[in-house]
Structure 1
Amino acid sequence: MSRWLSTLISSGSPALYHLKPKKEEFGTLAKMTVGEKIPNKTNKTILLVGETGAGKSTLINALINYTMGVKWEDGVWFQIVEGEKNENQTESQTSDVVVYESFGFEDETLPYSLTIIDTPGFGDTRGIEHDAIVSQQLLDLFRLDDGVHEVHAVGLVMKATDNRLSERLIYIFNSVMSLFGKDVEKNIVALITHSDGRRPKNALKALEVANIKCATNEKNEPAHFLFDNCQDEARAENELEELEHSYDVTQKGIKQLMCFIAELEPQQLDTTVDVLNTRIKLTACFQNLQDRIEKIDLKISEIKKTEEDVKLYEKGLKNDENFTVETDEVYKEKEAVPGGKRWFGFLKGAVTCTVCEETCHYPCTIAKTPGMCEVIQDGNCIVCTKKCPAEKHVKDTWRYVNKTRKVKKTMEILKRTYEVKQEEKKTLLSSLEEEKEKLDEEKNTLVNESYQLVLKLEKIALNVDSLSTNVHLDILIEKMMEKGEKEKVEKLMKIKASQSKGVQTVLRYCYSKVTSAGRAAFNYVFKSGPDSSVD
């Protein structure tokens, strides 16, 4: 074991060591590598999904020790991940996606090297914005040249004592599954922790009741593997037999899992990247839609205030050349956003259109230039109002936001502003109404584009059971109902009906964390919508 850099945590039996892997920071991603990669050697990748406290960290440590050839009689245990927080702590131990790699033992303990992707807990108190960041991190990982391009197994980590899957865990699982194509089921397995080695009746029943789509074994049960979580516990004389049995349960579970993975065809991530790119476009369209709706609402308020003042003017103040109207003028302001240079020169920030003065994509994490961003297709933006060419966009650490300011305008200025032409017998108020109709038409166009993106996402994804998509559907349903698009509303309601009750519960759970648009969607669906009853 001397070839691995490590520091002693505590002596005894087993002696605990903290591995010192090579660490690479990829913006909000991290890669921990033990050993040196050998070119042209086979590698297998496991993606882990689970709640905090399920035992993911201990399982990762066990997998790494197995690949390193650590045995019970060696009397040592290596940790690459620190212990998990207890169940009362609401946030996961790590906020970011972490990739663990183990190289150098190929053809000794395993015929291949191992990569483990650890995802932080979805659906916690950090809410929808954090979930979107995790999805973005996975997309970044899948698209990087030095990232992960195939996954052999997706492991749902759960305790053997779980007699039901919590709505939160179902949401976590489905959020990740919605990133993959429909053929991912054969790669999904249950990783049962805190096991005594016996058949996990409770956990298997919980998987059946929750209708989790996964691979099956020769008994037509969900493919599952057993692990205990006692490997780093001090070996007291009166517990040696029990602790060795616990160790053997985990060794057997890992060996069976490794054999299972060896026979699996990997899930190629081309479809996954397509799914995630679609989701990014969908999200970008909705973010832009909300900005433009907000602008329309502010503009309507300005119109109403102007209308009131104009009526006063027409009642008897027409001869007052100094008559002014005070309005809340809508304007765009540049607002700083977190960002800066990332790995390999990538810039984290926002893509904005300098012509439309709109934010087209935020956060944009991988694209070096606007032309490389997901919202640019065939040289033009699919998000901004005028669908401007890529060269009219910039990527920087700021975005456009709607603001209002108090301004005073004379009647002449107002008429010039809204192009009131006497020869066309247009009035100021009719010009304002025309502008509102134009904005409504633009909004309808974006709603229709978003609808098409939802249909594409449903078509290529395993399911659409994720919080971000759910919120988007609620908003889209409301807008389609306003337009009277009955068939499209029915289609969207059908998609929504297929989503689990767990999503609705998580929406309640994250209610205080979501944006005002998300709260509006929540209130619409669960208080006034046609399918609004939630226990």
Structure 2
Amino acid sequence: MEVTSSNQEALISESVQIPRGPPIYQLIPKKEMIGTLTRVTVGEKDENKINKTILLVGETGTGKSTLINTLFNYAVGVKFEDEVWFQIVEEEQKSQTKSQTSDVIVYQIFGFEDQTLPFSLTIIDTPGFGSTRGFEKDDSVSQRLFDLFRSEDGVHEINAVGLVMKASDNRLNGRLKYIFDSVMSLFGKDLEKNIVALVTHSDGRPPENVLQALEYAKIKSCRDEMNQPVHFIFNNQQIEQRNRTEKDQVGSKYSWDFTNEDMGRLRDFLKNTKPQPLKTTVEVLNERIRLEACIQNLQERIKLTELKQNEIKQIEEACNKHEEEMKEHQDFTMEVDEVYKEKEPIDGGMWGLVFYEGAVTCSVCEENCHYPGCTMAWSPASCEVIKGGNCTVCTKKCPASKHVKEDWRYVIKTRKVQKTLSVVEKKYEKNKAQCESKSCLLENLKQESIKWTAELTSLLDEAYDHVIKLEQIALNVNSGSTFNYMGLLIDKMKEMGDEEKLQVLEELKIKMDKNNEGQTMATHLEKVEEALI
């Protein structure tokens, strides 16, 4: 498709004019919903043409929507004198100041290759990163990206990750730092040279404040010949009236020209930079999912262990208190809080043709191996927690064939029951011939308690191994979810008395705390400011 006025006319015929400023046309592109993912496409894909992909990440309100529209207009060859502007981002989305949803929106621009861009362009937008909704929603965005990266018709390589900042940003506030940490934690270290800064609302001057803020925050990114973070500057006023006065026209032309110039520089960067396959990124995300599943299982096992040990303690106390009665009456009864598991329904089911929400559970161990968060796997064998054919989470590391994915999960409960001495002895006996005394029963109870503690220690070691592996392969291990788990891991490691691992975790926690320095206060002040507006 050649970029001519006839092409603009073709786009206009597929658009709706917005009655504001110069002629602005809202495109009506092809839109597909794949689960919670939205794919917006203009033109037809040519398999013989090269495609480049850029992922945009930034705080709500930085101008990502305008930047996406600018990329589109540059791609289709709109010039300053054309007095026309196209919008691929829906107007109603732009007008809302609140974060939209956890959807990842993929914009595909085909049919304009070998003109201003020598390739077709895919733009991945991550709306909602860093909103006031907290870790849970941002982790949902991470999950959507993961689903996109490993989907058969998804994105399998990235040419650039654009960190979007306003030119007025002279520091990384708590929320912005959290956003960058979140996205850094998604990628393997092989993607560092593909990360660039995209500076919006620029007046054309070098963005010294932004560069200093990036340096101070130790944001890992591609470096130029001056060892500065590679960056590109853009103005966000392209849709304003351009011919109101001669002075306005001069100013508008200047803003258009330096934006167009840096669009050219970004084009060259995408053209010359080696794309990074997302194999390591998928590995990072897989490892994070296993960590979260492991911690979730750990928390449930801690609860189970404490309840089991309480049940054992009640039996021990009854044995000591009623020793004489138990000698005379084999049918002596005691009341205990018996621990049991029950299947509980969960919200689940299919989303479209791709996503299937459910819980992966082990029928042998009767444990939840992946819940919540299992959305892509149609069977346990394809779930992230299954590796090499076996589960990485459940106690016995059972094969996938011993697992199911259903719309229920196991829950741990207790009930008060009356148990006879003979029933208790049968449950805990190791050698019937030798277990006819109270001391033997108490010893067996003690061994049972030790067994539960040992299994808990093993699970804690696995969680530790996941955290260490994340540090080795991820650009930044300090995502919100990992940070939240560190306190639990440190507390439990103290209880277990493993000084070596405790020291490693505490040092990693100190590093995370330094990265998050000032974040809590900054976020609090931002919430206060929002409340006052």
TM-score by length of structure 1 reads: 0.87
| 1:55 pairs with 2:68 | no
Pick closer, same or farther for the CA change 1:21–1:278 going to 2, 3 Å: same
| 1:331 equivalent in structure 2 | 340
| 2:38 equivalent in structure 1 | 30
Pick closer, same or farther for the CA change 1:79–1:321 going to 2, 3 Å: same
| 2:506 equivalent in structure 1 | 493
Higher mean displacement: 143-152 or 472-481: 472-481
The answer to whether the 8 A contact 2:312-2:449 is kept is no
Deviation at 1:123, TM superposition (A): 4.1
Aligned residues: 510
Question: Counterparts of 1:287 and 1:509 in 2: how far apart (Å)?
Answer: 30
Deviation at 1:236, TM superposition (A): 7.2
Question: Counterparts of 2:145 and 2:384 in 1: how far apart (Å)?
Answer: 15
Higher mean displacement: 363-372 or 313-322: 313-322
- TM-superposition CA deviations, 1:174-225 (whole Å, max 9, x none): 2211222223222111111111111112212211221222222333322111
List alignment gaps of at least 5 residues for structure 2: 1-7, 525-533
| 2:459 equivalent in structure 1 | 446
Question: Counterparts of 2:41 and 2:192 in 1: how far apart (Å)?
Answer: 29
Pick one of 225, 229, 234 that aligns with 1:227: 234
Partner of 1:499: helix, strand, or coil?
Answer: helix
| 1:457 pairs with 2:467 | no
| 2:486 equivalent in structure 1 | 473
| 1:402 pairs with 2:412 | yes
| 1:117 pairs with 2:127 | no
| 2:367 equivalent in structure 1 | 358
The answer to whether the 8 A contact 2:56-2:161 is kept is yes
Question: Counterparts of 1:403 and 1:240 in 2: how far apart (Å)?
Answer: 72
| 1:375 equivalent in structure 2 | 385
RMSD: 2.8
Question: Counterparts of 1:365 and 1:216 in 2: how far apart (Å)?
Answer: 37
Question: Counterparts of 1:129 and 1:396 in 2: how far apart (Å)?
Answer: 23
Alignment of 1:53-452 (within 5 A): 53-82=61-90, 92-234=99-241, 237-238=244-245, 239-314=248-323, 324-342=333-351, 344=353, 346-362=355-371, 363-419=373-429, 421=432, 423-424=434-435, 425=437, 426-452=439-465
The answer to whether the 8 A contact 2:361-2:370 is kept is yes
Higher mean displacement: 308-317 or 12-21: 308-317
Question: Counterparts of 1:355 and 1:249 in 2: how far apart (Å)?
Answer: 64
- TM-superposition CA deviations, 1:73-117 (whole Å, max 9, x none): 33332222246989996x523322211111110112310011111
| 1:527 equivalent in structure 2 | none
- TM-superposition CA deviations, 1:116-171 (whole Å, max 9, x none): 11123434333232233222222211111211111111111011011111122122
Deviation at 1:344, TM superposition (A): 4.4
| 1:533 equivalent in structure 2 | none
Deviation at 1:233, TM superposition (A): 3.6
Question: Counterparts of 2:522 and 2:216 in 1: how far apart (Å)?
Answer: 23
Partner of 2:223: helix, strand, or coil?
Answer: coil
Question: Counterparts of 1:326 and 1:206 in 2: how far apart (Å)?
Answer: 64
Question: Counterparts of 1:93 and 1:171 in 2: how far apart (Å)?
Answer: 18
The answer to whether the 8 A contact 2:188-2:475 is kept is yes
Question: Counterparts of 2:9 and 2:254 in 1: how far apart (Å)?
Answer: 27
The answer to whether the 8 A contact 1:160-1:202 is kept is yes
Pick closer, same or farther for the CA change 1:377–1:205 going to 2, 3 Å: closer
TM-score by length of structure 2 reads: 0.87
Question: Counterparts of 2:446 and 2:517 in 1: how far apart (Å)?
Answer: 39
| 1:530 equivalent in structure 2 | none
Question: Counterparts of 1:88 and 1:79 in 2: how far apart (Å)?
Answer: 16
Higher mean displacement: 138-147 or 469-478: 469-478
Question: Counterparts of 1:44 and 1:447 in 2: how far apart (Å)?
Answer: 42
Pick closer, same or farther for the CA change 1:177–1:358 going to 2, 3 Å: same
The answer to whether the 8 A contact 1:121-1:172 is kept is no
The answer to whether the 8 A contact 1:168-1:502 is kept is no
The answer to whether the 8 A contact 1:360-1:384 is kept is yes
Deviation at 1:312, TM superposition (A): 4.5
List alignment gaps of at least 5 residues for structure 1: 512-535
Question: Counterparts of 2:501 and 2:228 in 1: how far apart (Å)?
Answer: 39
| 1:16 equivalent in structure 2 | 24
The answer to whether the 8 A contact 1:122-1:172 is kept is yes
Question: Counterparts of 1:84 and 1:333 in 2: how far apart (Å)?
Answer: 46
Question: Counterparts of 2:333 and 2:249 in 1: how far apart (Å)?
Answer: 89
Partner of 1:24: helix, strand, or coil?
Answer: strand
For residue 242 of structure 1, what is the amino acid of its counterpart? Answer: G
Question: Counterparts of 2:327 and 2:123 in 1: how far apart (Å)?
Answer: 76
Pick closer, same or farther for the CA change 1:465–1:183 going to 2, 3 Å: same
For residue 409 of structure 1, what is the amino acid of its counterpart? Answer: K
Higher mean displacement: 9-18 or 501-510: 501-510
Pick closer, same or farther for the CA change 1:356–1:162 going to 2, 3 Å: same
Pick closer, same or farther for the CA change 1:326–1:154 going to 2, 3 Å: same
| 1:45 equivalent in structure 2 | 53
